[in-house]
């Protein structure tokens, strides 16, 4: 919902400048509260913009596809950001492409920004006067040493789901040995190198298809937790 004051402002012939501020919330995939705030610019004092008491650091970004439409399929906006220093490469590598992370876009008229952004303060400062849009990262659309492009989707379209639900690993089972997913409950079979053993303390699955066959049979139904055919896709 657009605040009433902003509704009045944006209908004027001469509108004030609007800044777009972004929150990248990694909390759900990192496990603790981790929010990165950024904006493609600085304030009047040539310092990071402050909005609602939060600091939005200047970072080279290009946002596209955020246009609103009441017809047809919803858009898939993208954020293209500089990859200088490898910051995004590190986040993508460590947090599974950041898939599912929440991106919040704040549209704010400059006239309502916090007073600390201006040399002489701001009598119009209003932390509640903004338009907020929430998205989730759908995929890493492009990744190079210079920049990264992230494709976003509306939360209602993903319903918090990830496809695939697990990381695709070709030759390694992701199940815990003897867990419900593994399904094996018998005696000792082999060690972690698939060498036969009768010692239950040395009984460990190698995590490979061969280890699964040793326990469930050469021609049995294997509950293997990997994706063997993925290695054949080029």
Query: pLDDT digits over 14-62, tens only?
Result: 556 889 999 999 988 887 888 999 999 999 999 999 999 999 999 999 9
- Predicted local distance difference test score (pLDDT) of residue 3: 65
Indicate yes or no: pTM above 0.75.
no
pLDDT interval class at 13 (50, 70, 90): very low
Residue ranges covered by each domain of the chain: 4-158, 164-234
Q: What is the 3-state secondary structure (H, E, C) of the chain?
A: CCCHHHHHHHCCCCCCCEEEEEEEECHHHHCCCCEEEEECCCCCCCCCEEECCEEEEECCEEEECCCCCCCCCCCCCEEEEECHHHHHHHHHHHCHHHCCCEEEEEEEEHHHCCHHHCCCCCCCCCCCCCEEEEEEEEEEEEECCCEEEEEEECHHHHCCCCCCCCCCCCCCCCCCCCCCCCCCCCCCCECCCCCECCCCCCCCCCCCHHHHHHHHCCCCCCCCCCCHHHHHCC
Over residues 85-109, mean pLDDT:
86
pLDDT tens digits, residue range 111-156?
A: 999 999 999 999 999 998 999 999 999 888 888 888 999 999 888 7
- Predicted local distance difference test score (pLDDT) of residue 114: 96
| Residue predicted with more confidence, 95 or 119 | 119
């Amino acid at each position: 919902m657009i605040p009433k004051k902003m509704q009045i402002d944006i209908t004027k012939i001469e509108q004030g400048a609007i800044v777009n501020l972004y929150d990248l919330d990694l909390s759900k995939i990192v496990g603790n509260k981790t929010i990165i705030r950024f904006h493609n610019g600085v304030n009047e004092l040539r310092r990071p913009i402050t909005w609602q008491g939060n600091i939005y650091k200047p970072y080279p970004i290009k946002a596209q596809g955020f246009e609103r439409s009441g017809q047809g399929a919803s858009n898939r906006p993208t954020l293209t950001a500089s990859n200088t220093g490898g910051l995004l490469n590190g986040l993508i590598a460590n947090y599974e492409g950041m898939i599912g992370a929440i991106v919040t876009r704040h549209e704010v008229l400059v006239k309502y920004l916090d007073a600390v952004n201006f040399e002489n303060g701001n009598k119009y400062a209003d932390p509640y006067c903004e338009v907020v849009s929430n998205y989730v990262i759908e995929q890493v659309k492009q990744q190079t040493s210079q920049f990264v492009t992230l494709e976003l989707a509306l939360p209602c379209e993903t319903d918090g789901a990830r496809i695939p639900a697990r990381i695709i690993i070709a030759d390694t089972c992701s199940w815990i040995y003897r867990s419900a997913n593994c399904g094996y409950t018998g005696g000792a079979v082999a060690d972690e190198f698939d060498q036969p053993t009768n010692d239950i303390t040395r009984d460990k699955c190698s995590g490979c298809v061969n280890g699964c066959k040793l326990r469930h049979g050469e021609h049995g139904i294997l509950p293997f937790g990997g994706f063997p055919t993925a290695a054949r896709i080029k």
